Copies of this chain bind each other. A is one copy, B any other.
Amino acid sequence: MKPIKKIRLSDSVINAIKKKVAENNFKPGDKFYSENELSKLLEVSRSSIREAIRILEATGYVTVRQGKGIFIADFDSQKFEPFVNWLKSNEQHILDHFEVRLIIEPKAAALAAEKADAEDIRKMEEALAQFDLFAERKDNTEIIKWDRKFHRWLAGSTKNSTLHVLMKSVTTSLPDGWISSLHTPGRIEKTTHEHRVILEAIKNRDKNSAEKAMARHLENALSDIRSHMGTLS
């Protein structure tokens, strides 16, 4: 009959804001226009702007902090911040950390086997090559760096951004126990081989093998860490 419906100004403002975000290429985490700027830009009062912002905030589109401004919401990395802080200040819970990785990473490897593209595989190959290079030179700092990159790129190739951010969080803090485990005889060589097996399974799109290879890799690392910790206590 009559498709006319009265539109509230704040609703129009919402659409205008989303349009601005798309046009000007605002990304998650970016600072957005201030309320006064928006008021001038869209030629509506600050009240209506604020009501629109409240709605966008309630639906998780933006976050607002007094004195600072309006920010495009960052779905993942912002929310995992407390988790990262906790990891850093609780490195003694290394066994707990590993238990969590044992839950997540094998499944991540399976997903990677499903979805990794040529570029992902190229990056993982590079990480492995660098790892081997510095393994020969016994440069532990670089070794750890490229080990981390391998695990992160694997997570990235799942094409699941939440999982990627999560894995980045888990791998940011590599406790002493992890580092010292590299000193156990043969661990580096074993890691080289285990990584290779994982990547080959991914390249073959073999989900099951990838999952199992990753599980084995972590279990082996864990048991080396355990025995290494045992020698200290």
Q: Is the Cβ of B59 less than 8 Å from the Cβ of A175?
A: yes
Among B10, B100, B108, point to the contact of A166 (Cβ < 8 A): B100
Question: Given contacts A100-B162, A104-B104, A162-B99, is CB(A173)–CB(B79) below 8 Å?
Answer: yes
Least Cβ distance of A15 to chain B in Å? 11
In chain A, positions 67-89 with a C-beta closer than 8 Å to chain B are 73, 75-76, 79-80, 82-83, 86-87
Are A163 and B100 within 8 A (Cβ)? Answer: yes
In whole angstroms, how far apart are the Cα atoms of A172 and B163 in the complex? 15
Is the Cβ of A58 less than 8 Å from the Cβ of B60? Answer: no
Size of interface on A: residues with Cβ below 8 Å to B: 49
Does more than half of chain A's interface fall in helix, strand or loop, or is it mixed?
A: helix
Closest Cβ of chain B: how far from A60's Cβ, in Å?
Answer: 3
Once the chains are docked, how many angstroms separate the CA of A100 from the CA of B58?
24
> Contact string, A95-115, partner B, CB cutoff 8 A, digits 1/0?
011011001100110010000
Q: Is A181 positioned at the interface, with any CB of B under 8 Å from its CB? A: no
* B173/A75 in contact, CB under 8 A: yes
Closest partner residue, chain B, to A173 (CB atom): B79
- CB <8 Å contact, A161 and B79: no
Instruction: Name 12 A/B residue pairs within 8 A (Cβ), A-sorted.
Output: A10-B54, A51-B51, A58-B58, A79-B172, A80-B169, A80-B173, A92-B161, A99-B111, A99-B163, A100-B166, A103-B103, A103-B163
